Amino acid sequence: MSKKVKSLPKDFLWGGATADFQYEGGFNEGGRGILSHDYETDGSQAHPRHHTMRLSDGQLINPKSSFILAEDIPDDAKPVFLDDQYYPSHQAVDFYHHYKEDIKLMAGMGFNVFRFSVCWSRIFPTGEETEPNMAGLKFYDDVINEMAKYNMEPLITICHDEMPMNLAIKYNGWTSRYVIDAYVKYAQTLFDYFGDRCRYWLTFNEINAVRGFGPTGVRQATGHDRYLAAHNMFVASAKAVSLGHKMIPESQFGAMYAMSELYPATCKPEDMFHHMQARRENWYFIDIMGRGYYPSYAEEIWQHHGFNKLEIAPEDLATLNAGQLDYIAFSYYRSNTTKDGDEWFNVGGSANPYLDETPWGWPVDPLGLRYCMNEIYDRIQKPIFIVENGMGAIDQADDQDYVEDDYRIDYLQQHLSAMADAINIDHVPCLGYTMWAPIDLVSLSTGEMKKRYGFVYVDMDDQGQGSLKRTPKKSYQWMKQVIATNGATLTDN
Ligand code: BGP
């Protein structure tokens, strides 16, 4: 088969993406406050992660770190650290003390952008202070200045599935409008301190997942609370976008969506119709934030989740309209299938007989990425940014900690090639690609270390033991070539 040129736009942003509580560590350093993820244990596919909490009568409870909805958590439950428990966010892989080394490694691959999230409780330890924690600001200042030495620009996620624990406990997280104000104060502080060096911002990570207690601080599992929390996040995002545009004239704002593709399991009309409804669970979030208004199908979604109406103040609608996103960012790891009778909010779904799976059962579907890019652009007509894509795999390191990760090269080759086709053939405007995650870090869903994504191996096990030494894998050199040629070394799938 003839090889098509895959070259990409000359200002294309190439880089990697991380999240503070999976990467940074330093949880009790520099005046950082307790974050909602700090009480989250390690886990595995068989043993879901959970939070450690104690009721007022002393009883311990372990609410699951549910992917979609919080379990009901009693009002008197308070988080507690247990001596016999490992909490991965505390050390993570210690970017806090390795940032110079890690940034140098990323620069060595030719990255011109690095997506990281600021830890909210490092800047406002309880979320309620009137003045920011200067030591926290200094850490990110140092990180950004270090990146500037290599001409690498930041893509800052303001809130990556987290909040200061105090806001979760005291206000029931995002169900409270107080949290909107706390978020806007926090965002304003970031614009103030880093706006002179940061063009690209993400207001929230995977906002459409509106996950359980850790990320949203919401104690109840009702559908109404979930959509109320989402509404308050939309308002907070829109306020931050309007403010950011005023404070930083060159700024570009996106929010990030978990947009793995969704297919109907069959062409049976009922499956097709069900697929349309299930896909709207994602579109709801993109439509509201990307177009600035609630879509006509919103009521149907609310009713499906057990309530008739969300009361929305007219001034909120004006805020949403004024604070529309400039670009649509998304994560893409896999595709899912769905059929009539499945949950609408669908992660996983029925098996797809046409696709192979990763060791964690995630179907590998590069063409789904091209499909997804087209689907979003057709609908919203704003540039897109792929801010997470990668393969979680079990790496076997040799005695020099070197990993021959041909499977990762294969995965990335296929996905980047599909991305290039969406850009070159379908003419989807795409600002850049940040691979998850350039340096091995802790898995969000399972809390494991052995689910590795990186171009760089980190010597650490599932319990946080190891030297933390960084060693480039085979994929490091491969990616370096892809970036150096701006995609020209990619081949057809
Ligand atoms: C996304 C999150 C990331 C990240 C990634 C991989 O949902 O935004 O934080 O972790 O998925 O998932 P996991 O770590 O569970 O393999």
pLDDT by residue for the chain (493 residues), tens only, comes to 445 667 799 999 999 999 999 999 999 999 999 999 999 999 998 888 999 999 999 999 988 876 555 668 888 999 999 999 999 999 999 999 999 999 999 999 999 999 999 999 999 999 999 999 999 999 999 999 999 999 999 999 999 999 999 999 999 999 999 999 999 999 999 999 999 999 999 999 999 987 677 778 888 778 899 899 999 999 999 999 999 999 999 999 999 999 988 999 999 999 999 999 999 999 999 999 999 999 999 999 999 999 999 999 999 999 999 999 999 999 999 999 999 988 876 556 677 999 999 988 899 999 999 999 999 999 999 999 999 999 999 999 999 999 999 999 999 999 999 999 999 999 999 999 999 999 999 999 899 999 999 999 999 999 999 999 999 999 999 999 999 999 999 988 7
Res 2: pLDDT: 42
Output the CA 424–ligand 1 centroid distance in Å: 28
Mutate to test the pocket of ligand 1, among 360, 388, 411, 451 (most ligand atoms within 8 A of CB): 388
* Per-residue tokens: 418: 């599909």
Type of residue at 318: A
* Strand-pair partners of 433: 14, 386
Cis peptide before 329 (omega within 30 of 0): no
- Give the angle 30-31-33 at the CA atoms, nearest 5°: 125
Rounded CA-CA distance 6/182 in Å is 44
**How far is CA 1 from each of CA 8, 25, 367, 492, 493, rounded to the nearest angstrom?**
21, 48, 18, 8, 10
Mutate to test the pocket of ligand 1, among 159, 331, 385 (most ligand atoms within 8 A of CB): 331
Whose alpha carbon is nearest atom 11 of ligand 1? 444
Whose alpha carbon is nearest atom 14 of ligand 1? 443
Judge if the beta carbon of residue 65 lies within 6 A of ligand 1. Answer: no
Task: Catalytic residue, from 24, 153, 162, 388: name it.
Answer: 388
Judge if the beta carbon of residue 393 lies within 6 A of ligand 1. Answer: no
Q: Where are the beta strands (DSSP E) in 2-119?
A: 13-17, 53-54, 60-61, 78-79, 113-117
Is 388 catalytic? The answer is yes
Buried b vs exposed e over 285-305: b needs ≥16 C-beta within 10 Å?
bbbbbbbbebeeebeebbeeb
192 in Cβ contact with 132 (< 8 Å): no
Q: Which domains does the chain have, with CATH numbers?
A: 13-35+88-484 (3.20.20.80)
The H or E element containing residue 233 is: helix 223-247
CA of 445, closest atom in ligand 1: 15
Type of residue at 413: Q
Res 215: pLDDT: 79
Q: Write down how long the chain is.
A: 493
Whether the full predicted model's pTM is greater than 0.75, yes or no, is yes
Judge if the beta carbon of residue 443 lies within 6 A of ligand 1. Answer: yes
Question: Burial, 401: exposed, middle or buried (Cβ in 10 Å; 0-12, 13-18, 19+)?
Answer: middle
Output the CA 22–ligand 1 centroid distance in Å: 9
- Residue 285's SS3 state is helix
